[in-house]
Amino acid sequence: MIKKYNLLLFDADGTLFDFSEAERSAFYATADIIGIPGYIASVYPRYSQINDDLWKAFERGEIQKSDIQAMRFSKLFKDLGFDYDGKQANSIYVSELEKNAQLIPGALELCRNLSRDFTLILVTNGIKKTQRSRFSLSGFAPYFKDVIISEVAGYQKPDKRYFDYLFAKHPEFSKDLSLIIGDSLSSDIRGGNNAGIDTCWYNPRRMENKTDCICTYEIAALEELYTILL
């Protein structure tokens, strides 16, 4: 079999891991522990938006990862008028998140199959301790050569230096024979563009690309990767 790629860089959350479900589960558990007021189903979307905005600011290099952890619950509690320490709430939330390793349907089987013909590396901006815990629970470990976490690399996607770190650590691979697969245009696809790597946008909701990010491929289901790769 002639392969166009030999290295597949998989994003974690939203691509292989069902982060929406993990986040919701961890938030509900945190709310139960500390007694966040109000109907949780109505409070959670506000938290999720705050968290998403902070992570995007992190990707743009405007804040540090530690700022996300310090600010997300503090901002939420300010909105709710709830008197509770935001950093303490975040600590509880992170502890709960570490227990959640829900996967996108078919992700484990896909990685098992692809690992027979390709080298797989997980690329994530997530919190180091949390991601390592979730990865160990996921069943992915036998199929991945490495996990590159932004905290360890010193840079985050989409910064080109994040990918420079990856290829310096694995000089046996070249960018020309690598493909990054991810759900985030601003992180994964722009990161691939910055690094000179082919990209595959995992877009299950079939959203319109209104950015200048260039997608080499676009898929709505992970199984479509078989057609591209094999």
Catalytic residue ranges: 11
Amino acid sitting at position 168: A
Write the DSSP string, 54-104.
HHHHHHTTSS-HHHHHHHHHHHHHHHHT--S-HHHHHHHHHHHHTT---B-
Q: Which of 53, 19, 14 is nearest to 204 (CA)?
A: 14
* Beta carbons of 126 and 67 less than 8 angstroms apart: no
Q: From CA 138, how far away is CA 205, in angstroms rounded?
A: 24
Q: Which residues of 169-190 are buried (b: 16+ CB within 10 A; e: fewer)?
A: ebeebebeebbbbbbbbebbbb
DSSP 17: B
Q: From CA 145, how far away is CA 121, in angstroms rounded?
A: 6
Helix (H) or strand (E) holding 219: strand 217-219
Q: Report angle CA 102, 88, 45 to the nearest 5 degrees.
A: 50
Assign 123 to helix, strand or coil.
strand
